[in-house]
């Protein structure tokens, strides 16, 4: 027999799953639009060259490539694929900005909610296809952009019912300055960031071990890890003061961080000097949102002033934030945060079929009720009435209509409320109004 | 410089495109739900074995395969890919039904709106990634299913504003009976159907030529093509009578066709005895919807009682209909069918930035207006006011707010209506109500 499971790392979504997903996506869209972001979508498939070299050492290896077709195939690996599946939404968006520059406003703000694919080893809660919900603003280097992005994403989380999240913030430039002050040579700093990015997973010991493997002097490594340890529990003003002392200067990146804190004016924001973010395209502020009961982040983002310039001749500054749909749903499900009124049935009204001759009447009734805004399902067969009622109850439809011989003769419809068993016979011409009132009440 | 175009056969969708797409998808969802169909989604990537052998000779070749990752690669073509991109929504749905049989109701009705990928040669209006909007009902062989599916799809088209479409209907069994009556041997009938499927594109001459190439006797070929020519302009009752005469018997498939016509009770339906549909999995009724100004169909579907049984041990009857989103949008755009009120701007209110010290006040105002349901965008920089107004006008936002020194001192906000140039200074505490009234009126 055929294997009917979804492919490795992939998932099927049954109606109850989709209703949850659509609920969350609906709120995300609504909030993003209230901030003036406009919808945009890019194709699932990109030219391979668009994606390679944008995501750092790990990312390049996790891109799903698409096999070239028949006649073009060559044994040489390089020639086997020239397209690949979207790995994130930021790189395709940057390509789009470079391509349609003249059609877009200078300070274009877009949101994009689409799946991405990564050839990660599947694990609990980690899939090879997952949705990202991105907001990005291009054209300005002002910290108003960072403040508005943080505000938009926090508003999404609040409307979904989260009140305990932490927005960790840092700056890539500032990290470089910390690494310089620690005495880590410039040519080792990208390696150092890759190691620091794993701090949450492997702990300080693990990072120091990787520093060592990557040839970073123990003394320098200890210096920066000691700084992180010192700052771990300190409040933002204290952290800013300590960082200024450590670097020896109130640098532009420190000033920017200070300005974001002031403009965003949000008690959930905490400077985390060790936050590195894996993707290689970030150039300034970096952000990540966490809750205590989830390993990994609910959202992440940052400034990438150099990425669009990799596609077009103009260097256009940009900053973005991305919400991970699946992680939001995992936490909301575990915490029971979905509203109890989230629709759980397929229809408001169930119409039975009395006999072969009455089918047309049942379908006509269904049509009329639908025109009146009701969701109506029709039993698809001529069958025992008891069986039809049992089925209506099993699929959780609240009202069942019978158009039988008596009803047809008297121009009436019998309606049963399955919740309380009450049954009424209603005039045919009043049935739509009767049911619409029942359903809306 | 990098190539910034989308990959071959792929498309980027800017905000105006997405708004059109979301408008159409919104109506499709609403109608499908009013018929009791429930949402379901499947992954973009399927095991290759799930897809191969389901779509007929052409389909197999148009499947996009995904390259296996590094260590597993082998020169042998067969081993280069074991997964592929979704080619339609029907085959993955059939796999899902087989896999989750115990979790689904017996007469499960689902809708699914997702992209599919086909390695077709790109041409005007033909893309390699496109959306299908499917409704399918499983579990019943009753013609109530066909009637309801046709009704649902017609209702979608009507609500979108179409009034001139034709629902062509035929039956695969009936086609076999016609081929038998024409004297075409059983082992040549699949070939004959492939040729007949091209009738719209290549004309009767072309089909007869292909019959010849495929070894079908000229006399038999002429006989069936003469039948099609005779029936081309005849009304449904006449067609049914002619077919009965041609086959020599009122077969079950003829009876089913008669019953669908009677139950659907829809003047747009026309029997087309030459309709074949390309996909190989159809077993009974087949349908296609056309308008005169589009080559190809707006929607297509049919009964596939054998497909689910290819995945599970139970043979479950099923029937479905699929709307092609892109084609709907092409015709609606050409005919100017989109409502003029389709939202075209990114925000209701534009908030200017007076100076560095007032940024926080502008952001606070934006937050407050958003909490009151308004879509608000903030200019991201400290800049000349005239430049900010010019930008607001360029991106088509109707109301601009200024929170300058005077306004701050007097606890007021200046509001300008860009359409008529009117300007008012409103008390700060009344501004949300003031703008909400303006926008909703």
Tell me if B387 sits within 8 A of B413, measured CB to CB. Answer: no
Asked if B347 and A36 come within 8 Å (Cβ–Cβ), the reply is yes
Residue B426, φ and ψ in degrees, nearest 5: -120, 145
Question: Around Cβ B80, how many Cβ atoms within 10 Å?
Answer: 19
Asked if B45 and A391 come within 8 Å (Cβ–Cβ), the reply is no
Instruction: Determine the pLDDT at residue B72.
Output: 54
Residue A285 DSSP symbol: E
Nearest-by-CA chain B residue for A91: B4
A-chain residues within 8 Å CB-CB of B93? none
Q: Is A372 left (phi over 0), alpha (psi -120 to 50) or beta?
A: alpha
A-chain residues within 8 Å CB-CB of B145? 380
How distant is the Cα of A115 from the closest Cα of chain B, in angstroms?
Answer: 9
Instruction: Determine the pLDDT at residue B126.
Output: 84
Q: Name B45's bridge partners.
A: B85
Asked if B64 and A66 come within 8 Å (Cβ–Cβ), the reply is yes
| Residues 6 or more apart whose Cβ sits within 8 Å of residue B126 | B9, B120
Nearest-by-CA chain B residue for A20: B39
How distant is the Cα of B230 from the closest Cα of chain A, in angstroms?
Answer: 31
Q: Which residue has the tokens 């260097």?
A: A315
How distant is the Cα of B245 from the closest Cα of chain A, in angstroms?
Answer: 27
Instruction: Determine the pLDDT at residue B42.
Output: 98
List per-residue pLDDT tens for chain A, 441 residues long. 789 999 999 999 999 999 999 999 999 999 999 999 999 999 999 999 999 989 887 888 899 999 987 655 555 556 789 999 999 999 999 999 999 999 999 999 999 999 999 999 888 778 999 999 999 999 999 999 999 999 999 999 999 999 999 999 999 999 999 999 999 999 999 999 999 999 988 999 999 999 999 999 999 999 999 999 999 999 999 999 999 999 999 999 999 999 999 999 999 999 999 999 987 899 999 999 999 998 889 999 999 999 999 999 899 999 999 999 999 999 999 999 999 889 889 999 999 999 999 999 999 999 999 999 999 999 999 999 999 999 999 999 999 999 999 999 999 999 999 999 999 999 999 999 999 999 987
Asked if B6 and A375 come within 8 Å (Cβ–Cβ), the reply is no
Structure tokens at B91: 């085959």
| Residues 6 or more apart whose Cβ sits within 8 Å of residue B195 | B207, B210, B211, B214, B216
Asked if A10 and B77 come within 8 Å (Cβ–Cβ), the reply is no
Question: Around Cβ B287, how many Cβ atoms within 10 Å?
Answer: 29
Among A265-274, B273-282, B296-305, B314-323, the minimum mean pLDDT is found in: B273-282
Instruction: Determine the pLDDT at residue B71.
Output: 54
The helix or strand, by DSSP H or E, that contains position A363, with its residue range, turns out to be: helix A359-371
Nearest-by-Cβ selection for A98 from B4, B75, B310: B4
Nearest-by-CA chain B residue for A17: B40
Asked if A45 and B128 come within 8 Å (Cβ–Cβ), the reply is yes
Structure tokens at B45: 């990537």
Nearest-by-CA chain A residue for B65: A67
Per-residue pLDDT band at B295 (split at 50, 70, 90): confident
Asked if A7 and B47 come within 8 Å (Cβ–Cβ), the reply is yes
Identify from B1, B19, B36, B435 which residue to disrupt to test chain A contact, counting A C-beta atoms within 10 A and taking the largest count: B36
Q: Which ranges in A279-355 belong to alpha helices (H)?
A: 325-335
How distant is the Cα of B240 from the closest Cα of chain A, in angstroms?
Answer: 20
Instruction: Determine the pLDDT at residue A70.
Output: 63
Identify from A1, A14, A51 which residue to disrupt to test chain B contact, counting B C-beta atoms within 10 A and taking the largest count: A14
Can you tell me the mean pLDDT for B386-413? 96
Q: Whole-angstrom Cα distance, residue B168 to residue B282?
A: 15
Asked if B45 and A7 come within 8 Å (Cβ–Cβ), the reply is yes
Per-residue pLDDT at B149 exceeds 60: yes
Asked if B263 and A363 come within 8 Å (Cβ–Cβ), the reply is yes
Per-residue pLDDT band at B79 (split at 50, 70, 90): confident
Instruction: Determine the pLDDT at residue A75.
Output: 59
How distant is the Cα of A234 from the closest Cα of chain B, in angstroms?
Answer: 25
How distant is the Cα of B211 from the closest Cα of chain A, in angstroms?
Answer: 27
Per-residue pLDDT at B77 exceeds 70: no
Asked if A7 and B43 come within 8 Å (Cβ–Cβ), the reply is yes
How distant is the Cα of A128 from the closest Cα of chain B, in angstroms?
Answer: 9
Instruction: Determine the pLDDT at residue A176.
Output: 95
User: What's the pLDDT tens digit per position in B114-134?
Assistant: 999 999 988 877 899 999 999
Instruction: Determine the pLDDT at residue B75.
Output: 59
How distant is the Cα of B5 from the closest Cα of chain A, in angstroms?
Answer: 6
Asked if A380 and B15 come within 8 Å (Cβ–Cβ), the reply is no
Instruction: Determine the pLDDT at residue A2.
Output: 86
Instruction: Determine the pLDDT at residue B261.
Output: 97
Handedness of CA A135, A136, A142, A143 (dihedral sign): positive
Treating both helix axes as pointing N-terminal to C-terminal, what angle do B199-213 and B218-231 enclose, rounded to 10 degrees? 160
Closest CA to A113 of A29, A43, A51: A29
Closest CA to A302 of A266, A256, A267: A256
B-chain residues within 8 Å CB-CB of A7? 43, 45-47, 50, 83
Instruction: Determine the pLDDT at residue B199.
Output: 93
Question: Around Cβ A341, how many Cβ atoms within 10 Å?
Answer: 6
Nearest-by-CA chain A residue for B352: A144
Produce one character per residue of B85-123: b if its CB has 16 or more CB atoms within 10 Å, e if not.
Answer: bbbbbbbbbbbbbbbebeebeebbbbbbbbbbbbbeeee
Q: H/E/C letters for each residue in A370-417?
A: HHCCCCEEECCCCCCHHHHHHHHHHCCCCEEEECCHHHHHHCEEEEEE
Q: Which residue has the tokens 């050409």?
A: B334
Nearest-by-CA chain A residue for B73: A77
Asked if B346 and A49 come within 8 Å (Cβ–Cβ), the reply is no
How distant is the Cα of B119 from the closest Cα of chain A, in angstroms?
Answer: 8
Residue with more model confidence, B222 or A2: B222
Nearest-by-Cβ selection for B3 from A38, A47, A137: A47
| Residues 6 or more apart whose Cβ sits within 8 Å of residue A196 | A175, A207, A224, A274, A276
B-chain residues within 8 Å CB-CB of A106? 391
Q: Whole-angstrom Cα distance, residue B165 to residue B289?
A: 7
Handedness of CA A285, A29, B93, B156 (dihedral sign): negative
Interface pTM, i.e. ipTM: 0.94
Residue with more model confidence, B341 or B251: B251
B-chain residues within 8 Å CB-CB of A121? none
Closest CA to A12 of B310, B95, B320: B95
């Amino acid at each position: 027999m055929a294997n009917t499971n979804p492919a490795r790392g992939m998932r099927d979504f049954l109606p109850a799953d989709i209703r949850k997903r659509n609920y969350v996506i609906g709120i995300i869209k609504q909030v993003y639009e209230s901030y003036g972001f406009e919808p945009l979508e890019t194709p699932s498939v990109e030219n391979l060259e668009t994606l390679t070299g944008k995501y750092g050492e790990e990312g390049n290896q996790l891109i799903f490539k698409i096999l070239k077709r028949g006649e073009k195939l060559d044994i040489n690996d390089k020639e086997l694929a020239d397209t690949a599946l979207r790995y994130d939404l930021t790189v395709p968006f940057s390509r789009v900005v470079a391509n349609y520059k003249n059609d877009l406003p200078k300070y274009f703000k877009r949101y994009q909610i689409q799946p991405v694919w990564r050839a990660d080893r599947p694990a609990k809660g980690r899939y090879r296809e997952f949705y990202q919900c991105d907001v990005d603003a291009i054209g300005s280097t002002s910290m108003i952009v960072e403040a508005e992005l943080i505000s938009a994403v926090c508003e999404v989380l609040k409307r979904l019912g989260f009140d305990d999240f932490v927005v960790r913030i840092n700056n890539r430039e500032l990290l470089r300055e910390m690494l310089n002050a620690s005495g880590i040579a410039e040519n080792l700093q990208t390696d150092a960031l890759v190691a620091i990015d794993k701090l949450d997973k492997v702990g300080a010991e693990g990072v120091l071990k990787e520093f060592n493997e990557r040839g970073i002097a123990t003394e320098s490594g200890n210096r920066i890890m000691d700084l992180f340890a010192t700052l771990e529990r300190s409040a933002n003003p204290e952290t800013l003061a300590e960082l200024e002392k450590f670097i020896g200067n109130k640098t532009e990146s420190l000033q920017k961080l200070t300005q974001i804190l002031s403009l965003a004016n949000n008690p959930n924001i905490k400077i985390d000097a060790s936050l590195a973010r894996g993707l290689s395209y970030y150039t300034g502020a970096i952000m990540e949102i966490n809750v205590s009961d989830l390993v990994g982040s609910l959202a992440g983002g940052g400034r990438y002033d150099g990425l669009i310039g990799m596609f077009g001749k103009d260097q256009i500054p940009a900053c973005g934030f991305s919400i991970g749909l699946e992680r939001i749903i995992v936490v909301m499900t575990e915490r029971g945060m979905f509203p109890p009124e989230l629709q759980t049935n397929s229809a408001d009204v169930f119409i039975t079929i009395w006999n072969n001759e009455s089918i047309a009447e049942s379908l006509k009734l269904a049509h009329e009720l639908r025109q009146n805004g009701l969701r109506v399902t029709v039993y698809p067969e001529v069958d025992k009435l008891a069986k039809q009622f049992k089925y209506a109850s099993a699929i959780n439809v609240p009202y069942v209509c019978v158009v039988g011989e008596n009803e047809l003769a008297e121009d009436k419809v019998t309606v049963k409320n399955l919740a309380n068993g009450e049954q009424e016979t209603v005039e045919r011409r009043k049935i739509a109004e009767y049911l619409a009132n029942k359903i809306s009440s």
